[in-house]
Chains A and B, each alone.
Chain A
Amino acid sequence: MRRIAPAAVALALLALPALPVRAQCGLGPEPCRPDAPTWVGEFAALSANAVLGGLTAGLVSHIRGDGFGDAFLRGLGGGAGVYAGKRIASERFDGAGLLGRQVAAVGTAMVRNAGQGEAALTRLLLPIGPVWLEVGPGFRPSGARIDPFALGWTLYGLLEPELEFDAGRSLSAGAAVFRTRGTLLSFDGEEAHAAGVTNAGVILLADVPAYGEPFMERSFAHERVHVLQQDFLGMAWTDPLVQRVVRQTPATGAVGRRIAFNLSTELMRGLGRLFPEHQDRPWEIEAIFFGR
């Protein structure tokens, strides 16, 4: 009974977000309803993030043999924290991205800790650019790991002549931001030419002056939400899984203590194949909602 109740709650919560999200911003060809109440979308985003946090913690805990229920319920709180981070990160004030990213990171850590059977704030992972700062018990820094994928995309941005580093926006977003010189972006041959692309937490923005500043700011807010989505996937999904493998031997374990395995971009690319239409992807619906 103890294991059935959380599962039932999870299913119910999973079903809830689908309806309001569909009402708010249609999945079909019909356009978004501008008259839909904002709270409906906020509730959908909150419940979706909470459920995702709960399921992540519950499944990891279940795999570890500690059961699903407790971790699920604690993960719900962490997921709510991720929602709060996204809500902050998509606001239009300087530093919103940086602040929201850290708030979401705390929420993600709560999910991760719940899955590991640890207290909510025992270990924190705070992403600063391509580095994940580790904060241990007592909020004492305990190390740092480098995200090679974020580092690679950052180096690419610095070396690519079509891009230029945007220091102000990088500081504001808490993530490396590069902007094009008047061109749009197309990632992996997609026909939809993007105003922005985020890979491993590195934002590439299309700077087309004719589209105007509001367009640029909306794209920037949209991409900041993707940064947080990728943080969650990297910290709560791909890194724990890969760490579980590499820490089987001392040699690979030493590597694992210095590397952050953020495969979020690749995971999203793989999941994206399930949604032929770019705007049907759940993470795009969420980023469009927050970034508008």
Chain B
Amino acid sequence: VSVCLAAGALAGCLDFVEPELPERGAPAVARLVVVVSDSGRLTMSGEAEPGFDEDGFRRRFADPTVRVGSMTFEPEGESAAGALIFGSAVAIAGSAVSDTLALLPPAVREIAERPTVRWAGAGRAGPDTLRLNETGGLRLALRTSSEPAGSPPPETRQWFLTLTGDEGAFRLSADGPPPDTIDVPAHFVPAFADTLQVRLVYQQSGTVRDVARYLGLFTLDVRLHWIVRRRDDG
């Protein structure tokens, strides 16, 4: 808006200029990482920033609690910039890793909705101790929960399998959710004397952008662990 006073040489032009407030209207952002392990442990870490409203003021949290399934997590602290810091662990049932997990970040004032995800879990379909089959190979049986209805799948899904023997490790990974069965041929099984450690990490991550003024950046790791013994071991 520019206003020039019409008084000839006495005139002056007055402009009303929007101040440069680069953070004005900045969205709230929640960056949360959940790790569940079939050893019976769930850790949740990350941070949540409330962002700035249209007047350039930092928003405030209406509810600082993060909900993971039926569990709640309170912030461990607050950064100088006003972000909530999370980092805590709880015990869970080992079988819970294959359940669908819903993640809900803190509620921010003036923002009615929260970005949320419901992602499928994965677990062992069988015992945690295995033996090599007749050919010296290994078969891993998995159980994954069905894709939750009404929740888009994560942008990125990958799984990583690591077999650690006495003198080295064999690694295998692929995009997408892990299959129900993973067959590892004998020539990929590292040499071991007593036990072979097998670990599988199923990682899902994605950004939820469909909630106005609130970004959700979520990562869910499911960690499974097997112990493999030789076929001829008692």
Binding site for B on A (CB under 8 A): 149, 152, 156, 160, 162, 180, 182-189, 193, 197, 199, 204, 206, 208-211, 263, 265-266, 269
Least CB distance from B191 to A in Å reads 65
Least CB distance from A188 to B in Å reads 5
Chain A residue at minimal CB-CB distance from B23 = A210
Within 8 A of A (CB), among B1-60: 1, 3, 5, 7, 9-10, 12-19, 21, 24, 55-57
Q: Are B15 and A186 in contact (CB under 8 A)?
A: yes
Residues of A within 8 A of B24 (CB): 210
Q: Are B55 and A182 in contact (CB under 8 A)?
A: yes
Chain B residue at minimal CB-CB distance from A270 = B9
Instruction: Summarize B's interface: helix, strand, loop or mixed.
Output: loop
Q: Please measure, in the bound complex, the distance between the C-alpha atom of A147 and the C-alpha atom of B177, giving whole angstroms.
A: 80
Q: Chain B: how many interface residues by the 8 Å CB criterion?
A: 19
Contact of A210 among B7, B14, B19 (CB under 8 A): B19
Binding site for A on B (CB under 8 A): 1, 3, 5, 7, 9-10, 12-19, 21, 24, 55-57
Q: Please measure, in the bound complex, the distance between the C-alpha atom of A118 and the C-alpha atom of B123, giving whole angstroms.
A: 101
Contact of A156 among B5, B18, B55 (CB under 8 A): B5
**Extra inter-chain contacts (6) besides given A152-B5, A193-B19, CB under 8 Å:** A152-B7, A186-B15, A188-B12, A206-B19, A209-B56, A265-B10
Q: Are A209 and B13 in contact (CB under 8 A)?
A: no
Q: Given A160-B3, A209-B57, A210-B57, is A184 in contact with B12 using a C-beta cutoff of 8 Å?
A: no
Q: Are A184 and B56 in contact (CB under 8 A)?
A: no
Instruction: Summarize A's interface: helix, strand, loop or mixed.
Output: mixed
Least CB distance from A187 to B in Å reads 6
Q: Are A183 and B17 in contact (CB under 8 A)?
A: yes
Residues of A within 8 A of B15 (CB): 185-187, 189
Q: Please measure, in the bound complex, the distance between the C-alpha atom of A209 and the C-alpha atom of B19, giving whole angstroms.
A: 11
Residues of A within 8 A of B9 (CB): 266
Q: Please measure, in the bound complex, the distance between the C-alpha atom of A175 and the C-alpha atom of B101, giving whole angstroms.
A: 64
Least CB distance from A88 to B in Å reads 29
Q: Are A185 and B5 in contact (CB under 8 A)?
A: no
Chain B residue at minimal CB-CB distance from A161 = B1
Q: Are A183 and B14 in contact (CB under 8 A)?
A: no
Q: Please measure, in the bound complex, the distance between the C-alpha atom of A187 and the C-alpha atom of B13, giving whole angstroms.
A: 6
Q: Given A183-B19, A184-B19, A210-B19, is A189 in contact with B13 using a C-beta cutoff of 8 Å?
A: yes
Least CB distance from A21 to B in Å reads 27
Contact of B19 among A199, A208, A269 (CB under 8 A): A208
Q: Please measure, in the bound complex, the distance between the C-alpha atom of A215 and the C-alpha atom of B16, giving whole angstroms.
A: 18
18 A-B pairs with CB atoms under 8 Å apart are A156-B3, A162-B1, A183-B17, A183-B18, A185-B15, A185-B17, A186-B17, A187-B12, A187-B13, A193-B19, A197-B14, A199-B12, A206-B19, A208-B21, A208-B56, A210-B21, A265-B10, A269-B12
Q: Are A183 and B16 in contact (CB under 8 A)?
A: yes
Q: Please measure, in the bound complex, the distance between the C-alpha atom of A185 and the C-alpha atom of B15, giving whole angstroms.
A: 6
Q: Please measure, in the bound complex, the distance between the C-alpha atom of A159 and the C-alpha atom of B123, giving whole angstroms.
A: 71
Q: Please measure, in the bound complex, the distance between the C-alpha atom of A208 and the C-alpha atom of B19, giving whole angstroms.
A: 8
Contact of B12 among A180, A208, A265 (CB under 8 A): A265
Q: Given A152-B5, A152-B7, A266-B10, is A180 in contact with B16 using a C-beta cutoff of 8 Å?
A: yes
Q: Please measure, in the bound complex, the distance between the C-alpha atom of A199 and the C-alpha atom of B16, giving whole angstroms.
A: 15
Q: Are A188 and B1 in contact (CB under 8 A)?
A: no
The 9 tightest CB contacts between A and B, nearest first, are A210-B56, A186-B15, A183-B16, A184-B17, A162-B16, A188-B12, A193-B17, A208-B19, A184-B19
Q: Please measure, in the bound complex, the distance between the C-alpha atom of A269 and the C-alpha atom of B13, giving whole angstroms.
A: 12
Q: Are A185 and B56 in contact (CB under 8 A)?
A: no
